[in-house]
Amino acid sequence: MADKTLDAKGLNCPLPILRAKKTLKEVPRGGTLEILATDPGSVADFAAFCKTTGNELVESTADGGVYRFLIKHTG
Amino acid sequence: MSEAENNGVNAKSMTIIVTKGTLDWAYPPFILGTTAAAMGVDVTMFFTFYGLSLLKKKLDLAVSPLGNPAMKMPMMGMHMGMPNLVGMLPGVEAGATAMMKDMIKKKGVASIEELREAAVESDINIIACQMTMDLFEFKKEDMIEGVKLGGAATYMEQALKSHINLYI
């Protein structure tokens, strides 16, 4: 179970990233943020975001057009 | 404290010169600026000439099909461009703008107002070009809060120490 969940479904680039960055501030260091998105571009974007900011992308899965990302706040 | 200092991981910086003020051209600088800031980059945006319109308190942005053959809108299952002769008619620009705004909303794309708010919130350094402010007779009160005034040298000081400098 993630510490916080962000529903970014229906939002397009760059909103899922912007909202995730904002929400990540409310997650304690070491905690996890779950993000749900429908933007297919978010798969590559969250990988790049995590790599650049030093946060850990623990999970990246897709289910019926909904992408789910689990980010550990390590950045 | 800037996002970069906050973050520590990615203490890089970027500048963007924003020269255009139409609805379509407003997107690239704001998308890249806000995303970079979210990724821990220290961002400066320098607004000059028509780009200044993007800093006005009340945004009234439009897009014109005139002289833009690449602007093909999805219509009736296909993509249609607009001959310049038609684009010149009164009301066509307003119609194209309304259509674009409708598409933006339907597809979950951020509005420029939303992206600009995110830019301010993420401490992007926003500079309005003093010379074009004077040229077009804009007053600082016409612009959103937090805008700094500066000239080419102010921009250059930032650009010289930045990793990425874009002109849009």
Q: Chain A residue with minimal CA distance to B29?
A: A14
A46 and B CB contact within 8 Å: no
Could you tell me the residue ranges of all domains in chain B?
3-167
* Distance to chain B for A46, nearest Cα, Å: 11
- ipTM score of complex: 0.88
What would the CATH number be for the domain defined by B3-167? 3.40.1260.10
Tokens of B167: 């002109």
Other beta carbons within 10 angstroms of residue B114's beta carbon come to 14
pLDDT at B3: 44
Does the bond joining B69 to the residue before it have cis omega, within 30 degrees of 0? Answer: no
Asked whether the beta carbons of residue A15 and residue B107 sit closer than 8 angstroms, the reply is no
Percentage of chain B exceeding pLDDT 90: 80
Distances (CA, A) of B167 to B1, B119, B155: 26, 17, 12
Could you tell me the residue ranges of all domains in chain A?
4-72
Architecture of domain A4-72: 2-Layer Sandwich (3.30)
Residue B11: band (very low, low, confident or very high) from pLDDT cuts 50, 70, 90? confident
**Euclidean distance between CA atoms B17 and B29, whole angstroms:** 8
pLDDT (tens digit per residue) in B59-115: 999 999 999 889 888 888 899 888 888 888 999 999 999 999 999 999 999 999 999
Tokens of A61: 């899965």
Closest to A53 measured CA to CA, from B5, B42, B9: B9
- The DSSP symbol for B68 reads -
Instruction: List Cβ neighbours of A30 (8 Å cut-off, separation of 6 or more).
Output: A72, A73, A74
Which one of the listed residues A13, A47, A48, A66 is annotated catalytic? A13
Residue B27 has pLDDT above 70, yes or no: yes
Q: How much is the mean pLDDT over chain B?
A: 91
- The DSSP symbol for A37 reads E
Asked whether the beta carbons of residue B10 and residue A52 sit closer than 8 angstroms, the reply is yes
Distances (CA, A) of B122 to A64, B16, B57, B116: 33, 15, 18, 10
pLDDT at A1: 82
Residue B120: band (very low, low, confident or very high) from pLDDT cuts 50, 70, 90? very high
| pTM given for the model | 0.89
Query: Comparing A6-10, A53-57, B20-24, B70-74, which segment has the lowest mean pLDDT?
Result: B70-74
Could you give phi then psi for residue B107, rounded to 5 degrees? -90, 5
Average pLDDT over residues B153-157: 95
Closest to A42 measured CA to CA, from A73, A64, A20: A20
Radius of gyration of chain B measured on its C-alpha atoms: 17
Asked whether the beta carbons of residue B10 and residue A54 sit closer than 8 angstroms, the reply is yes
pLDDT (tens digit per residue) in A55-66: 999 999 999 999
Q: Which residues of A touch B10 (CB under 8 A)?
A: 52-54
